[in-house]
Amino acid sequence: MALEPVAQSYPTRWKRPPVLLTHPLWRKIILLGGLVYLVLAIQTVEVDWQRVYLGLERGWRFVQGFLVPDFTSRWNDIYAGLMESLTMTVTSTVAGILISVPIGIGAARNLAPAPVYLACRGIITVSRSFQEVIIAILLVAMFGFGPFAGFLTLAFATIGFLSKLLAEEIEDCDRSQIEAIRATGASWWQVVNYAVQPQVMPRLVGLSLYRLDINFRESAVIGIVGAGGIGATLNTAIDRYEYDSAGAVLIIIIAIVLVVEYSSSYIRRWVQ
Amino acid sequence: MNTQVPGAQSSWQFRTPKQTLLRWVGWFWLVVLTVFCWQVMNENTIWAFVSDAPDQAADIGHRMFPPAWSYINNLWEPLWDTINIATLGTLLGILIAVPVAFLAATNTTPSTRFVRPLALLIIVASRSINSLIWALLLVAIIGPGLLAGIVAIGLRSIGFIAKLLYEAIEEIDDKQVEAVRATGASGAQVIDYAVVPQILPAFWGISVFRWDINIRESTILGLVGAGGLGIQLNASLSTLAWNQVAMIFIVILGTVVISEWVSAKVREAVL
């Protein structure tokens, strides 16, 4: 370090330099733009305070319903919805995995020829670009109300998620292992089976369990648009202003999500 | 080359027989479970509707095409509302999530026995309930409109942002904290000068990522009455105006693609 010329007076205060947006002019422009947007955006929110005030009483009843949930009076509905949700989750996850494994292999650049690669990537993009609820609306219109439409929705959404992550995992594989198996004269199938599969299997199991968790959460939502499951029960309970039953449904959803999350993280640790 | 090891198998096996057996049992039960679930799930399925689906799909496809292009003039305002719901909701989520994250991280929490479990409970409750369900509740409580959507998005975002943020806080470099503390800094100053600069890039990345997800989610919140494009979608669906539905889908797709691009660019710049 070269010696600096001695300053005449040292600054007594230190100001932290900005980390992001170091250019002072851009900093001001972006801050000002953000502020203008915020003012405009808040103005579009029309709040009927009287309605909110009236609603507070309902909100309080909901909090009470959540604290003292009523599992018994609507238990048959809750049970039916829960069974639909759980069975839908399992079947759609299994079907989704079965379809997404070949698509995932096809979408890996190091295993698939270019036309297959492009076709599989296309399928993944289509599946990922629409939300579950929108797909559910379309499938309910085509297949009628009930868990079958929900099953198709979740399976379709699983394909986009799982194939994409599986393809990325295959592309990140250790090349030397593939080379080694190929050097023994193995066919394409044998390369997939002996070089790629052992490398990606732990990750595939982990991703599948994670998707199981997501599918259960989503199964609670797509019921609102008619695709069966616990969401339909919840929707009915709220429409009937039965907040204690709604509270019970929410508590069951949270509990199952917790159980699935903890057991899946346990299994993932055990597999990896 | 052909030296025979005593007791070795004649052909190489990937797994021991016991492992193979266990695997087969595992797969068998998985298949049984799936078949059982399939049976229970489809007890009430009306297969006539299912076999009829290709015709229905063709019919809907026929009605969707061509999309009602001129309908876009009715969509600008809901689109603006949708973006506002997502942005203001994300801001609300950040405001609550940041303190929750600091209370949940083991190295900044005031008490690991009482405060941390509470913060983790908030995170779990917020994460396990989808924003559409939050919206359903809030529309019933505070009435339909943008506010319900904003609060729903905000409540759902708390768990996501707080979880990722507290994991980032737990991974910070302790030496910097020690160094700042050694200068005699107070607790707030330690957080301001040692913790915050380390998590700032992660914070911006998480926030923009959540904003991107929120844009996606806010497009459909209107289905339950919480404002935005979903309200138009619901109206068009209930009048079976499929060509308008197609136009709304195009607008949603465009918005999602643009927001994803923006979020990818910002994250690239920040991280």
Segments forming the whole domain that contains residue A191: 74-271
CA distance B73 to B86: 21
Query: Is residue B62 assigned to a domain?
Result: no
Query: Is residue A189 assigned to a domain?
Result: yes
Query: Is residue A37 assigned to a domain?
Result: no
Query: Is residue A2 assigned to a domain?
Result: no
Query: Is residue A62 assigned to a domain?
Result: no
**Minimal CA separation from A3 to chain B, in Å:** 26
CATH number at residue A109: 1.10.3720.10
Query: Is residue B115 assigned to a domain?
Result: yes
Segments forming the whole domain that contains residue B227: 74-270
Residue pair B146/A44 in contact by the 8 Å Cβ criterion: yes
Domain count along chain B? 1
pLDDT for position A8 = 65
Q: What is the pLDDT of residues A13-40, one digit of tens each?
A: 877 777 677 788 888 898 899 999 999 8
Residue A100 above 90 pLDDT?
A: yes
CB atoms within 10 A of CB A73: 12
C-alpha of A205 from chain center? 17
Residue pair B224/A137 in contact by the 8 Å Cβ criterion: no
Query: Is residue B218 assigned to a domain?
Result: yes
Query: Is residue B11 assigned to a domain?
Result: no
Query: Is residue A93 assigned to a domain?
Result: yes
Candidate from B40, B57, B81 with C-beta closest to A83 = B40
User: Under an 8 A CB cutoff, do B253 and A130 touch?
Assistant: yes
Interface predicted TM-score (ipTM) of this complex, two decimals: 0.79
Query: Is residue A120 assigned to a domain?
Result: yes
CA distance B214 to B217: 5
**Axis-axis angle for helices A243-271, A197-222 (nearest 10):** 180
Which residues 2-31 of chain A have a CB within 8 Å of chain B?
16, 19-20
Residue B5 above 80 pLDDT?
A: no
Q: What is the pLDDT of residues A66-88, one digit of tens each?
A: 888 888 888 888 898 899 899 99
Quote the pTM value: 0.83
- Chain A partners within 8 Å of B140 (Cβ): 55, 58, 62, 238, 241
Q: What is the count of residue pairs from A and B with beta carbons less than 8 Å apart?
A: 141
CA distance B232 to A127: 23
Query: Is residue B252 assigned to a domain?
Result: yes
Query: Is residue B186 assigned to a domain?
Result: yes
CA distance B202 to B204: 6
Q: What is the pLDDT of residues B140-149, one digit of tens each?
A: 888 888 999 9
CATH number at residue B207: 1.10.3720.10
Query: Is residue B263 assigned to a domain?
Result: yes
Give the tokens for residue A72.
Answer: 């018994």
Longest dimension (CA), chain A: 84
Domain count along chain A? 1
Interchain contact A82–B (C-beta under 8 A): no
CA distance B169 to B147: 31
Query: Is residue B6 assigned to a domain?
Result: no
Query: Is residue A197 assigned to a domain?
Result: yes
Q: What is the pLDDT of residues A166-183, one digit of tens each?
A: 999 998 888 898 899 999
Length of chain A: 272
